[in-house]
Structure 1
Amino acid sequence: MPPPGVCLNIIEARQYQDGYGSIGNPDRFLGQDYQMLKQYCINKGLRYLDETFPPDRSSIGQGILKPSDMARVEWLRPVKISHEPFFVRDGISRFDFGQGILGDCWFLASIGALTFQKSIFAQVVPLEQNFNENYCGIFHFRFWRFGKWVDVVIDDKLPTVNGRLIFVQSKDPNEFWPALLQKAYAKVCGSYTDMDAGTPAEAMMDFTGGVHMRVVLSNPPHNLWQLMVNAGQCKTLMASGTASGQQPINTTLPNGLVCGHAYTVTGVKQVKSRGNLVNLVRLWNPWGKGEWNGDWSDRMTIEDFCRHYADLDICGLNPDFLDGSPSSKWNSSMFEGRWVAGTTAGGCMNHRGSFWTNPQYRVKISGQHSFEDGEKDILLFLMQKPDKKKRHLVQNFHIGFSIFAKGKFPASFFTSHAPIAQSKTFTNARDITEFLTVKPGEYLIVPSTFEPNQTSSFIMIIHSKTEIDC
């Protein structure tokens, strides 16, 4: 029997090494091949109809619409909604769309951030698509889902009432990339209703497949401003959220901000005012209206930003934004594993009798290391991989990890050795990231849930400025 923590699917691992599941060779979501399906429709003179995400109430889901409203929904193609539909018209902008009745401000804030990075946008949204040449009602989009890129195929039937879109709505009624992108993401989530409530980091990770870092703004790092400046220069996506506080979610406060709401960070700028340097942050509301009305109007000082927002999520293609050096070369290794109740789900170190049963990964960090200015050089990312197809049914556990210096690792090892590094807390989230200082050497990494006997698959990615041997 293989030891805990080995790759669960050797075939998938080999395919990934061969480029399968990469952005250039994405996996086919639900086995659907966009090119083959499109060519079939062209040859047969058909308009594509997606049976895996049909234009009916099952794709909308339960709870978002009243039965009386659901009965009024009509699924229409853009060619029936508009006399002259465009996939993209006059470029891409965060001002192209506004939120509909769905509580997916987190997703739309992520799209807002995506519009600032044209090359990343083009990876997610293939821009050659249109309603003219060889149009047959089929579109596709690409998302990074739990360790691999997937190509998601949809038909272009959209839910409407009285001929108007009920979910995300374009400011230009003839432009449809926002509504079609939202539909593709609803498909991977299970339904439109499954997109209700979330955090921008989830979608931003799915747009980049890169590195995610969350900053709690009630206790920000001393270099927060420089981190945001670096992020702005390194092709990252940034979003932030307000706390709900004592007010109901979506309540607009006198200062113009909305409680429990996601915003896109659209820029940072340093200006001089009355002889002093002022650090300013600009944010955008996915509602398409309603902004901060305090000092500096459409911008706010970083002090007000930390005071009125709860957290900041930064997602980049790589960890360059952490040290502001695009020339940095990072090495990455990915592992897949699974915690299984009763066998490989031992819980955290509080549970000494079972902790040793967790998946264990030996790694060797090579090369030179500089500890000048407390430099950190290892980024460890741990993500839960759900078994459920419906997003709202997914149960995230509190997860974390411990890193030990080399040694022999039976149960007795963990009763006499302390970790040399570990996650600050076990967090109830889809993923966690820690930026660490680790000397060259051999180590054992043990990812775990906080409590034992909690079953879930996971992926773990190690980014290092030096070589990694696994």
Structure 2
Amino acid sequence: MPLFGSNVTPYKGQVYEKLKKECQQQNRLFYDTEFPPEDRSLFYSSGKLAGVVWKRPKQICSNPKLFVEGASSGDVTQGRLGNCWFVAASSCLAQYKELWNRVIPDADSQEWNENKPENYQGIFHFRFWRYGKWVDVVIDDQLPTLNDELIFIHSKAKNEFWSALLEKAYAKLFDCYEALDGGDLGEALEDFTGGVSEQIDVVKQGLRDNTETRANFFAKMQKEMDRKFLMAASIPAETRDEMEAAAPMGLVKGHAYGITAVKNIALQGSGLFGLFNREKISMVRLRNPWGQGEWKGPFSDGSEEWNKIAKSDREKIGLTFEEDGEFWMTMDDFCKYFENISFCRTVNTSWLSLSKTWHEGICHSAWKKPNLCGGCLNNKETFTHNPQFVFDIVEDEDEPIMQLMQKSTRGKEGSNNVTIGFTILKVEENRIYRIHDYTFQDVVHNSVFRDSRSIFRRDPLKKGRYVVVTCTFDPNIEREFLFRIYTSAANGFRELIVDKPERSFWNCCAKRPVAVIQIKILKAEGLEKQDRTGADPYCIISCEGEKVRTPTVKDTINPEWNCSAVFYRKNPLKKPVKVQIWNNNVLRDKYMGKHLFISSDDCVNSIQQVDLVGRGKEGNQQRSGKLTVQMTQTKNLLAL
């Protein structure tokens, strides 16, 4: 899927172009019956706010505009709703034209045109990414007011309405404005971009106490900002009384701040030496969605620390000392006072781009009874009774981005999220059937388990095949979900559906498998030296016509592979498992030795160290080195 997919679904079946044309033909303004100007569009129950009057922008000001001098992070100001998370996300969105052009499509054609009033029908549409697809939400332009003032989000310019209309469209997605009272910043960022959100805990990441970790993270923030990833930060409130209460340094707990710039700023030096050797200080610029209330510490508006920055540098970063909610902090102070940071990566999958391109794997699935809701690893007997997804890492190492997202809603009682997470298993290089006993695999990573809409994980993985087991924390919970993975190269991502080999129409007369064997190539010792650095050995495992190749281990005669394969055997008595060792060369690989494993007996994790022999006429001659493998074989095809 490209960064901005072309497939868009009309929300509630309302097609913007069709509705606008109908209004033009009938010479009337659009009235949205799906989200009418009534109390039920404001609150879950009526009577919570008296005196609300729904007005069209022309009734609020004489010269309404969708945008006044474009969109900027300073446009968006929070109203009476506790939706600073949404306001902060909107501020982040406003920084990047190519992003808000996707959320606010055809903005120029939606703009008021004083010269062509007949083109205005009081209808707008906005697009949000929801559960794997873009949804087009149509609204009318009637906005809730009190005493002729907008109640909720508004712009600093009294005649600018993009932020208020955007909020209305988002509220329509969740049935009313009150549904936006308290929410998740990362979710809004994802809904605006289709990106993948990551939550950073400042304390757990060591950003508060470790100078080197903090410096590395600042460099990461700079890189992410250059890539136009959206960022925000917050300070959690421990009690209800602390929610959105100003702290002594001017910051507000339980409140989300948009991060609008990340820069190294040079301090003034003295003399010629100072001109070329100026110390740089790491700085972060943030914005309070309230549009007022700012940081009061070092480098706050008007503080003496700004005298250390040259006037030209202050102008370069657009420094102003206004009560506009935007302020600068040092990275040290930022990590000292803020506790949570949200990144939203807008992952690029387009080949027509100069920036890094990712390969996407995406699948919709569900936990459902009776056999696909087994719970987390704590439930050892039922853990594999969950959806499973296989993917490959084809490079020597990659750091895939993974996200599990449950299909949830926001309602009167808040979200209905269940606790979810996932486990990553390193599996056999040729596995194409579901896992039935995870203890025969290597558990490489476990995600956190939370009752959030989505779970993010990014870990370095070595070359090989992996299976992700997605699960709810407790068993027997049903829920639809979406899983996404992004890798640097093609990953072959797909869901594992089938339990074991099955006869098809074309091979109905073929012999059925009678046993399954897992063979893990652990290591070799004392192989014959092939060049001055030793050798570059790999193995080929063959069984009844199927072959699996291990990765190459370079510059050693004592390689460790820890690589496995699984085979469903039809004739284990007559057709042994063959393991050959080869040396990887530029022109032609060189044979180093083999061993035949002849056995039809069941075994579990049997470790064997065996000799190597030649091939062909040299089949009885021993070769240098010993091979160590681990084998499990059983007649129960559902055992592994």
Same fold (TM over 0.5): yes
Distance 2:414 2:250 in 1: 34
Q: 1:76 to 1:327 in 2, by over 3 A?
A: closer
Q: Where do 1:237-256 residues align within 5 Å?
A: 237-245=230-238, 248-256=242-250
User: Aligned pair in 2 of structure 1 residues 46, 338: CA closer, same or farther (>3 Å)?
Assistant: same
Aligned to 2:490: 467
Measured in 2, the distance between the counterparts of 1:327 and 1:82 equals 43
How far did 1:27 drift? 0.9
Alignment of 1:1-16 (within 5 A): none
- Contact between 1:331 and 1:466, CA under 8 Å: does it hold in 2? yes
Q: Contact 1:22–1:148 (CA<8 Å) still a contact in 2? A: no
Matched, 1:31 2:13: yes
Q: Tell me the SS of whatever aligns to 2:462.
A: coil
| Residue 283 to residue 389, structure 1, CA distance change in 2 (3 Å) | closer
Q: Which residue of 2 aligns with 1:131?
A: 112
Q: Secondary structure at the match of 1:175?
A: coil
C-alpha contact (below 8 Å) 2:348/2:357 kept by paired residues: no
Amino acid at match of 2:93: L
Larger Rg: 2
Matches within 5 A, 1:207-226: 207-220=192-205, 222=213, 223-226=216-219
Distance in 1 of aligned mates of 2:120 and 2:411: 31
- Work out which of the residue numbers 337, 346, 350 in structure 1 matches 2:378: 350
Deviation at 1:364, TM superposition (A): 2.8
Q: Which residue of 1 aligns with 2:600?
A: none
Contact 2:246 2:252 in 1 (8 A): yes
Tell me which of 79, 84, 99 is aligned to 2:58: 79
2:464 is the alignment partner of 1:426: no
Partner in structure 2 of residue 3 of structure 1? none
Task: Check the 8 A contact 1:353/1:411 in 2, yes or no.
Answer: no
1:354-369 correspondence runs (5 A): 354-366=382-394, 368-369=395-396
* Match for residue 309 of structure 1 among 325, 330, 338: 338
- Deviation of 1:430 after TM superposition, in Å, equals 1.1
Q: What residue in structure 1 maps to residue 423 of structure 2?
A: 402
Judge conservation of contact 1:329–1:465 (CA < 8 Å) in 2: yes
1:339-359 per-residue CA deviation (whole Å, 9 max, x = no partner) reads: 125432111011012111101
Q: What residue number does 1:69 align with?
A: 49
Q: Secondary structure at the match of 2:437?
A: helix
Cα distance, 1:68 vs. partner?
A: 6.4
Work out whether residues 189 and 391 of structure 1, in 8 Å CA contact, stay in contact via their aligned partners in 2. Answer: no
For the Cα contact (< 8 Å) 1:211–1:316, is it kept in 2?
yes
Q: Equivalent of 1:451, from 467, 474, 477?
A: 474
Say which is worse superposed, 425-434 or 242-251, in terms of deviation: 242-251
SS of 2:58's partner is helix
- Maintained 8 Å contact 1:379/1:462: yes
Q: Deviations over 1:101-128 (max 9, x none)?
A: 0001000000111111111011111212
- CA shift, 1:227, in A, is 1.1
Choose which of 258, 266, 287 in structure 1 pairs with 2:260: 266
Residue 382 of structure 2 aligns to a residue whose secondary structure is helix
Question: Does the 8 Å CA contact 2:75/2:91 hold for their aligned counterparts?
Answer: no
Q: Does the residue aligned with 1:363 lie in a helix, a strand or coil? A: strand
Residue correspondence of structure 1 range 161-180 to structure 2 within 5 A:
161-180=146-165
Q: Whole-Å Cα distance in 1 between the matches of residues 295 and 354 of structure 2?
A: 33
- CA distances 1:273-330 after superposition (whole Å, capped 9, x unpaired): 476432111110000001111011131121211121111111121179xxxx973221
Q: Deviations over 1:217-274 (max 9, x none)?
A: 1133622111100011001111111121466211111211011110000111112447
Which letter maps to 1:166?
Answer: I
Give the alignment of 1:132-211 within 5 angstroms. Answer: 132=113, 133=116, 134-211=119-196
Change (3 A) 1:309 1:227: same
Alpha-carbon distance, 1:369 to partner: 1.9
TM-score after normalising by structure 2:
0.65
2:148 partner amino acid: G
CA distance in 2, matches of 1:55, 1:261: 29
Q: SS of 1:27's equivalent?
A: strand
Deviating more after overlay: 21-30 vs 52-61: 21-30
Equivalent pair of 2:7/2:133 in contact (CA under 8 Å): no
Q: CA 1:391/1:330 → structure 2, altered by over 3 Å: closer, same or farther?
A: farther
1:396: how far off? 1.4
Q: Which has the higher strand share?
A: 2
| 2:274 is equivalent to residue 289 of structure 1 | no
Aligned-residue offset at 1:198: 1.3
> Residues 92 and 45 (structure 1 numbering): CA distance in 2 closer, same or farther, change over 3 Å?
same
Matched residue type, 2:367: W
Q: 1:283 to 1:318 in 2, by over 3 A?
A: same
Structure 1's unaligned 5+ residue stretches are: 1-16, 371-375
TM-score by length of 1: 0.88
CA spacing shift, 1:86–1:95, aligned 2, 3 Å = same
Q: Given the superposition, is the C-alpha separation of residues 138 and 319 from structure 1 closer, same or farther in structure 2, using an over 3 Å criterion?
A: closer
Which protein has greater RCO, CA pairs closer than 8 Å, 6+ apart?
A: 1
Q: Contact 1:94–1:115 (CA<8 Å) still a contact in 2?
A: yes
The secondary structure found in structure 2 opposite 1:345 is: coil
Report the Cα distance in structure 1 between the residues aligned to 2:91 and 2:101, rounded to whole angstroms. Answer: 14
Distance 1:170 1:432 in 2: 33
**Greater Cα shift, 210-219 or 45-54:** 210-219
SS in 2 for 1:41: helix
Greater mean alpha carbon deviation, residues 267-276 or residues 169-178? 267-276
Deviation for aligned residue 1:393: 4.6
Distance 1:412 1:196, change over 3 A: same
SS at match of 1:419: strand
Matching residue of 2:90: 111
Residue 219 of structure 1 aligns with an amino acid whose one-letter code is K
Which of the residues 356, 380, 384 maps onto 2:402?
A: 380
- Taking a change above 3 Å as real, the CA distance of residues 412 and 203 of structure 1, as seen in their structure-2 partners, is closer
Indicate conservation of the 8 Å contact 1:190/1:391, yes or no: no
Q: CA deviation at 1:392?
A: 5.0
What amino acid is the match of 2:166?
L
Q: Is 1:232 aligned with 2:232? A: no
Contact 2:364/2:481 (8 A) holds in 1? yes
> CA, structure 1 residues 220+107, in 2 after alignment: closer, same or farther (shift >3 Å)?
same
Q: Indicate if the aligned counterparts of 1:195 and 1:391 stay in contact, CA closer than 8 A.
A: no
Partner of residue 60, structure 1? 42
Name the stretch that deviates more: 152-161 or 239-248. Answer: 239-248
Report the aligned-residue RMSD.
2.3
